[in-house]
Structure 1
């Protein structure tokens, strides 16, 4: 659900950009796919950040004199979940790929790592956890997830650092990358194989095919969709509908007609949620009403064949 909504939003943004710029749609599509590749790069970068924080913590143990401080650093240095990540061949392979040489952490980044460890030690999450040093696997996992959500994600210096190193189009990529990291950490169990597969954003090209088909079919068939929208809206000509509202309607109708595995209700719900993010308050009611009528008409005309039980 998270990734598909992200892909819908990305498609909407690039369809809107193409509409305004009138640039060849294939060039815009190329930029869109590059943007999604950036999401994967950020995901790998953030996983390596966790490993680098652990490496820094292990190094610091030898430099700390008091037992209390050593015990505190061990919460990161010997965390079972991070240890599993550090031995994962699917993650480790990236440091040997030439393209990722400048994408991952370098020696000059250590000041950021030191800052993140210091802020962890000051956090209430850490103070609560240190009272119980001998933790279970689940407690170690909960600790690292809480630490990540409360100390890493909102850290302003880290955000600035990442924005300096990556071309981030808005905050969506970074937000989604953080959420995927959290899902990865949450999925790790004591029984998880050593070399578990990382989160696949393209999901064996299924998601990549989804966004390309959605983008292209919305452009290819927009005149057809516009006639349908104009017929349903009656008192509203296409020129009177706000551009973003219109593109959202076109995309939803595209899913009705060209994505038989996505239930119509799921399509409508997803685009209403997207409308809440990008459009005026009144747009939600307008778009919901149009989509409901369009679906009923197409269903009556036997133009929609849906597999209702299949999840989005």
Structure 2
């Protein structure tokens, strides 16, 4: 689920938290990193279970509507039960592995905060996307999947109330939400009628090597902070260290650490990844500044032989 870029961002956030708290306990930071990464998976589970709750509310709404004597707006649809029969939603709603995971982790936020489900459900049924789906007369998995994707991207993910809810629940989720939402959209796009239960519950990390990489990047960046500071000073003669934003300084130190301590990671990958992170988490001017500093350092490391890369195509 988490890519190397996500891991880099998590390490960056962890170091930033250390700087802000002035806590120099490496053990605490390693624990913070693990918990922060695990919380991203919790957020993913909550977003997935949000679809389950919306489906439950739709079932309840249709059930109530069928008992009314007066006609409702739903009666005008060719099949007022079309949404609750949505194949993708049923795959998720009937996913026992997901239900077990939610139960094991005691993730009952939606049960305790049903008002958010009601807000989003009202927005969903009032949307043009929902209305078009209920009236189009189509009956296929592809149509079912497309409406879930459109509703998620256009109605659910951008919902400000939902954003406020996650911000109140856990502050770090503010940065995690776009990453989780993007991943969930990609996952739903790949879903098909034969997708098993585990398809919707991917592993947090590809393998142990990713966790090892995260811990090593965190540890080597922190333990060599003074060393990386000097590397930066040498390439920013006209800049006082106090003028370099903390987040820019952290990104530079992580990039330098990776260039010099991770021989299996290609130089271009490191430079491109940290430049993209700078663009997303810092200012446009900062990304230009960081790019210039890293470019100078990479050339110097090559010339002096400090940049040692192993494997084909890694130079």
Give how far 1:123 is off.
0.5
**Residue 122 (structure 2) aligns with:** 118
**Residue 145 (structure 2) aligns with:** 141
Cα 1:235–1:43 shift into 2, 3 Å: same
Give how far 1:50 is off.
0.7
**Residue 91 (structure 1) aligns with:** 98
Preserved contact between residue 298 and residue 307 of structure 2 (Cα < 8 Å): no
Give how far 1:247 is off.
1.9
Q: Distance in 2 between matches of 1:179 and 1:260?
A: 30
Mean Cα deviation higher: 220-229 or 40-49:
220-229
Structure 2 residue corresponding to 1:105, chosen from 91, 102, 110: 110
1:69 has 2:70 as partner: no
Mean Cα deviation higher: 247-256 or 148-157:
148-157
Give how far 1:260 is off.
3.1
Q: Distance in 2 between matches of 1:309 and 1:89?
A: 45
**Residue 38 (structure 1) aligns with:** 39
Preserved contact between residue 180 and residue 199 of structure 1 (Cα < 8 Å): no
Mean Cα deviation higher: 142-151 or 207-216:
207-216
Preserved contact between residue 262 and residue 308 of structure 1 (Cα < 8 Å): no
Cα 1:308–1:145 shift into 2, 3 Å: farther
Q: Distance in 2 between matches of 1:133 and 1:144?
A: 16
**Residue 23 (structure 2) aligns with:** 23
Q: Normalising to structure 2: TM-score of the pair? A: 0.84
Structure 2 residue corresponding to 1:160, chosen from 164, 181, 188: 164
Deviations 1:14-54 (CA, angstroms, capped at 9, x unpaired): 32332343312322332233222222111111111111211
**Residue 185 (structure 1) aligns with:** 188
- Count of residue pairs the alignment pairs up: 306
Q: Distance in 2 between matches of 1:159 and 1:302?
A: 45
Q: Distance in 1 between matches of 2:72 and 2:313?
A: 57
Deviations 1:171-228 (CA, angstroms, capped at 9, x unpaired): 1122222223222212212332354252322333443333222111111223333333
1:203 has 2:206 as partner: yes
**Residue 224 (structure 1) aligns with:** 227
User: Secondary structure of the equivalent of 1:190?
Assistant: coil
Unaligned runs of 5+ in 2: none
**Residue 54 (structure 1) aligns with:** 55
Aligned-residue CA RMSD in angstroms? 2.9
Mean Cα deviation higher: 64-73 or 80-89:
64-73
Preserved contact between residue 168 and residue 174 of structure 1 (Cα < 8 Å): no
Mean Cα deviation higher: 59-68 or 254-263:
59-68
Cα 1:113–1:309 shift into 2, 3 Å: farther
Cα 1:73–1:209 shift into 2, 3 Å: farther
User: Secondary structure of the equivalent of 2:81?
Assistant: helix
Give how far 1:145 is off.
0.8
User: Secondary structure of the equivalent of 1:305?
Assistant: coil
Unaligned runs of 5+ in 1: none
Cα 1:68–1:170 shift into 2, 3 Å: closer
